[in-house]
Each structure stands twice: as structure tokens, then as C-alpha cells.
């Protein structure tokens, strides 16, 4: 078998975020691409396209690397939480739970998915800047840690937790004032953010919570962004967080957990050069340990929330090529049977990906093409100005790095059904999310009786 990724000198088998293909991707004897021992062309034939494919080994490797790096570099207790907004499903929840990870959720749907997928309530945290009463109550009933994001959360929980009941387990989120060089729409750590309390609010909030019988503040949380390739901002974050930890403990809060969020970047294209998972964990671990030691503080439990770096590179999407349009001297469009409804990131963030023909992954480039989606939107373009081999309608295209924020951000634009998802391992492909059917999209539509009468 050959490494499918001809653009790299080798695969990083311990840090999947540094490969744009899954770590099990290989070329079989017929010259076709396979992942998890499964021929992707046959999978496309069996399950149809577009199709999300997840490699189980890559996900488990990333989970194990986070878990073992925390044990290696952090002398205190630790827990990695899967940021399930990246890709939420029963199967992924079950998988990460089996690897000893917790999970963070931001909605009732993500909470239910985690719980039914086998994640224990004590290992779940609930985020969100506008949580409903129902979400807060559900989290409280299952012993889930609720991340207090604003004054509204405090006011609602004061009503929800009845007098004499067990207090709610809380974590306080604040903006640390650290910016990273990333897309402005996914920055969350700077002061101008919809998330978390501002630094100048912290002391008054901590004093207020200390006097609340319904509240048990156990942790602190901050997050500085996403798809980050720099390590220094995370080192700075640990200093800021331990300062707040010191303040909270001096005000009488038994803070046990310090959650530094996530944000480690991944490799989407050749020019991306993210740190390894172990390098990232080493920086945050050493940062927290050093900051606590200098202040004479007992070590908290260190928590982090990887999402993209756990699942993105484990995933790829299969499409079939369709129509071709040549504009002489300008551009050649080749359309596929999916697009912005199964991958909204290119049109939303101008995100870039790598792709190849499944049955001819090493075929030399012969033309420059643009891969267009099938939606009625001029901006529905998945890959622009791609050097590519000559191709024909019906061939299967694999787009790499789609395991995060594709299925979870997908839509039914143009009333196009969402794709199925299969997970592959040891030559077996198993369905973990069924393909929607066009008729499924009608099940929640209602025609008022008076419309029928008028007709």
C-alpha cells in the first residue's frame, strides 16, 4: 500500500491534525484510494453520494493522543472534552466516551445526543450565550456542569434551582482579552465577544455567586478562537486564567477545574502547519503548572475542549462529478452532486480543501478547474482554480478534512436532503447517520385548512 498523500513527506500517525487525509488512507493494489481498509469507490456505490466518511482509527488516535499527552505533561488531574459542535452524533459521542473523554454541548439536542451516546452527565459541560430554561433544567437534572456565560444565566438558574435542592455545578466563562490571527467570525477570546463576562465584571460576579445557595462554582472557562497555529497565545491564556483562579479562591470559591477551551488548528492544505496535539498540550500544561507554582496555588483539574482537531482530518466527503462548463480563457467548472448544503464553509469562510479522484488519486494535473456545487447560488463553489487531472462525468471525488463543521453546519438549502455518514475500520463500513429522503423534508410542513378550502 502507498501513502495517498503525495504532498507530504510522511504521515504523522500520532497527531492526525497534521495530515489532511485520515491516517489509514492508502492506495490499494488497483490504484484506488481506500480508508479504514475500505475502497472508497465501492462505498460510494453502496451508500450513494454525497457521502460523509469517518475513519474510526483517526478519531481514536486523536482522542488517545490528547488523553496521554495530558497525563505526560500535567502533574494534576485532567480531562479532555470533545467539542461536539464540530460533529454531533450518537456514534461519535459513544466513541469519544469509550476513549475516556468528556463532552461539551451547546444545546438540548447536543446534550441528548451525548447522554444517549453514553457520555456521563458529570463529564459534560453546557455552553451557550442564550440558554433556554429547558436546557438549563435538563443540564441541572443530569448533574451536568453549566457554564455561566452572562447575568441572564444567573438570573434564570436562581429561579430554576428550588430552595433546599442540591446546588447547580457551575463554571464561569470570561473573555481573557487575547486575540489570534484567525477568521474574524470564529474569534471568541477578544473583549468584543458575545461570549462570557468581561474581566472588569469578574469580582462582582464572583461575590454574587458566593452568596447564592443554589450555586456551586467549581470551574473557570475561557476560549481564544479556532484553527489556531500559534502556541504563544495559549501560553498567555494560562497566565490570565490562573490570575482569575487565584481571585476566585481568595473570594471563597472551591475552584477545581480550569478549562482552557480548544482552538488547535488542523491541516487543510499543504501550506497549513499546525502544532502537534502533544506540543499544544505541553504548552498549556506547563503554563498552568508554572503559573500556579508562582502563586502558591494547588493545581486545578486541567480541562480542554478539542473539536476540529479530533474529527476534521478523520473525515472526507465523496461526490460524483457531473456537468462541465468551459468558459474559454476564464474558467472551467465541474459540478458535483452536493455543495454548500453539505459543506457551507467555503462560501461562509472562504475555506480551502484538498481533493482527488478516488480511482486515480495520483493522476497528474492536466487542467485548472473549479469544483462547483449544485445549488442555485453563484457562490456555491467548493474548490476554486484547482490543478486537476482530466476527468469524466460519474467519477468519484474525495474532498479531505470534512469531518468537522460540515455535517454539523449542513442545511437543506434548495430542499436537498442531508447526506448519510459511514464510519470505516478494518475493512468494514457501517452506517452511523441515515441519508435523508426528499419526502423526509416535508414531514414538518403543514398546510392550513383554509388554504385547502381556497384551492
Active site residues: 376
Three-state DSSP state, 312: helix
- 10 Å CB burial of residue 427 (0-12, 13-18, 19+) is exposed
CA angle, residues 137, 216, 110, in degrees to nearest 5: 35
Helix (H) or strand (E) holding 152: helix 151-160
Cβ neighbours of residue 8 closer than 8 Å, sequence gap 6 or more: 19, 270
Helix (H) or strand (E) holding 285: helix 277-295
Q: How many Cβ atoms sit within 10 Å of the Cβ of residue 221?
A: 25
Q: How many Cβ atoms sit within 10 Å of the Cβ of residue 386?
A: 18
Cα(92)–Cα(318) distance, rounded to whole angstroms?
A: 20
Place of cell 457562490: 379
Residue 50, preceding peptide bond in cis (omega within 30° of 0): yes
Phi-psi domain of 24 (left: phi exceeds 0; alpha: psi -120 through 50; beta: other): alpha
Cα(58)–Cα(425) distance, rounded to whole angstroms?
A: 10
Cβ neighbours of residue 260 closer than 8 Å, sequence gap 6 or more: 222, 223, 234, 237, 238, 241, 284, 288, 302, 303, 304
The neighbouring-strand residues paired with 369 are 386
Tell me the residue ranges of DSSP E strands in 276-415: 301-304, 315-327, 331-336, 355-357, 367-372, 381-388, 396-400
Q: In degrees to the nearest 10, what's the CA dihedral of 247, 251, 257, 262?
A: -40
Q: How many Cβ atoms sit within 10 Å of the Cβ of residue 231?
A: 16
Instruction: Sort strands 301-304 and 315-327 into parallel, antiparallel or unpaired.
Output: unpaired
Closest alpha carbon to 82 in 70, 68, 66? 66
Amino acid at each position: 500500500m502507498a501513502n495517498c498523500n503525495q504532498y507530504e513527506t510522511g504521515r504523522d500517525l500520532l497527531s492526525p491534525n497534521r495530515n489532511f487525509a485520515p491516517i489509514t488512507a492508502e492506495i490499494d493494489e488497483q490504484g484506488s484510494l481506500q480508508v479504514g481498509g475500505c475502497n472508497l469507490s465501492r462505498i460510494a456505490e453502496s451508500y450513494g453520494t454525497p457521502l460523509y466518511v469517518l475513519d474510526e482509527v483517526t478519531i481514536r488516535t486523536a482522542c488517545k493522543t490528547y488523553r496521554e499527552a495530558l497525563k505526560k505533561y500535567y502533574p494534576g488531574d485532567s480531562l479532555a472534552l470533545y467539542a461536539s459542535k464540530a460533529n454531533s452524533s450518537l456514534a461519535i459521542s459513544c466513541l469519544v466516551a469509550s476513549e475516556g473523554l468528556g463532552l461539551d454541548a451547546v444545546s438540548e439536542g447536543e446534550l441528548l445526543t451525548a447522554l444517549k451516546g453514553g457520555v456521563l452527565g458529570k463529564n459534560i459541560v453546557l455552553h451557550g450565550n442564550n440558554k433556554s430554561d429547558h436546557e438549563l433544567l435538563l443540564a441541572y437534572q443530569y448533574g451536568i456542569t453549566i457554564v455561566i456565560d452572562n447575568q441572564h444565566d444567573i438570573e434564570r438558574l436562581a429561579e430554576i434551582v428550588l430552595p433546599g435542592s442540591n446546588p447547580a455545578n457551575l463554571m464561569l466563562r470570561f473573555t481573557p482579552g487575547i486575540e489570534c490571527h484567525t477568521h474574524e467570525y470564529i474569534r471568541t477570546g477578544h473583549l468584543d465577544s458575545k461570549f462570557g463576562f468581561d474581566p472588569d465584571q469578574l469580582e462582582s460576579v464572583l461575590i454574587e455567586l458566593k452568596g447564592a445557595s443554589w450555586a456551586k462554582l467549581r470551574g473557570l472557562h475561557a476560549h481564544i478562537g479556532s484553527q489556531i497555529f500559534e502556541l504563544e497565545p495559549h501560553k498567555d491564556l494560562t497566565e490570565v486564567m490562573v490570575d482569575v483562579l487565584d481571585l476566585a479562591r481568595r473570594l471563597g470559591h472551591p475552584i477545581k477545574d480550569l478549562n482552557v477551551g480548544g482552538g488547535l488548528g488542523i491541516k487543510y492544505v499543504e501550506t497549513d502547519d499546525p502544532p502537534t496535539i502533544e506540543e499544544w498540550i505541553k504548552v498549556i500544561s506547563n503554563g498552568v503548572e508554572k503559573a500556579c507554582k508562582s502563586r502558591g496555588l494547588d493545581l486545578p483539574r486541567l480541562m480542554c475542549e478539542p473539536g476540529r482537531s479530533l474529527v476534521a482530518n478523520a473525515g472526507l466527503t465523496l461526490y460524483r462529478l457531473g456537468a462541465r462548463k468551459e468558459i474559454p480563457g476564464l474558467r472551467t467548472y465541474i459540478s458535483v452532486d452536493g455543495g454548500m448544503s453539505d459543506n457551507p464553509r467555503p462560501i461562509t469562510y472562504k475555506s480551502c480543501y484538498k481533493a482527488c479522484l478516488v480511482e486515480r488519486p495520483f493522476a497528474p494535473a492536466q487542467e485548472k478547474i473549479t469544483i462547483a456545487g449544485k445549488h442555485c447560488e453563484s457562490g456555491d463553489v467548493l474548490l476554486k482554480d484547482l490543478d486537476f487531472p482530466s476527468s469524466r462525468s460519474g467519477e468519484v471525488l474525495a474532498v479531505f478534512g470534512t469531518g468537522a463543521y460540515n455535517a454539523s453546519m449542513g442545511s437543506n438549502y434548495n430542499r436537498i436532503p442531508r447526506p448519510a455518514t459511514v464510519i470505516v475500520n478494518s475493512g468494514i463500513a457501517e452506517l452511523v447517520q441515515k441519508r435523508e429522503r426528499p419526502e423526509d423534508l416535508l414531514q414538518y410542513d403543514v398546510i392550513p385548512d383554509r388554504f385547502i378550502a381556497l384551492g
